[in-house]
Amino acid sequence: MLNTALQVLSKDGTIADNTYQLIGEDGVLPRGDVVLTVEQLDQIANVSGKKALYLTVDASPETNEFPLDQLDAIFIEFAGFNDGRGYSFAALLRRQGYQGELRATGDVFKDVLNYMKRSGFDTFVVKEGKDVAEAAAGLNDFTHPYQASTAVVNAGYQTGSQK
């Protein structure tokens, strides 16, 4: 599950503290910014701060309908490096019109940040034990993408430019 104590890396390279809280084991809704699981979405109206949804690989936006217009952020968990469903979820949510923050969590580290950013992610919770400042350097590994993506509408092959 989500470790809310870890810092958050933004796609622009800035690092900040997480403001979102989980609902406690006692079921009490905390004040402020709250991240809800799919099973807790019925409590969204009771959240006093920003509202976030935590998606695991079992909650595809292709087969589930979420209240996208009520969410400030969607956290997408990457269960493992070899599982690319989080990339697909991000791209699908963007195609569905979601304009809020997409945050990658779980198995997130320097080598995958650039690809996550290209898939539509805004923020990242770098895997525990990895240096978040070092990982930030991975955001600009590739400055001239060849393929179009959520983040780059007109890539080099489409425009004929090298930039």
* Predicted confidence (pLDDT) per residue in 88-143, tens digit: 999 999 999 999 999 999 999 999 998 899 899 999 999 999 999 999 887 876 66
Indicate the DSSP class of residue 37.
E
Mean pLDDT for the stretch of residues 81-92: 92
For residue 137, the model assigns a pLDDT of 81
Distance CA 67, CA 72 (A): 10
pTM score, whole prediction: 0.85
Residue 118, Cβ density class (10 Å: 0-12 exposed, 13-18 middle, ≥19 buried): buried
Which of these ranges, 50-59, 83-92, 144-153, has the smallest mean pLDDT?
144-153
Structural contact between residues 55 and 83, judged by C-beta atoms closer than 8 angstroms:
no
The pLDDT value recorded for residue 96 is 93
Give the residue extent of every domain in the chain.
Answer: 8-159
Q: What percent of the chain has pLDDT over 90?
A: 65
The whole-number pLDDT of residue 138 equals 76
> What fold, for 8-159?
Rossmann fold (3.40.50)
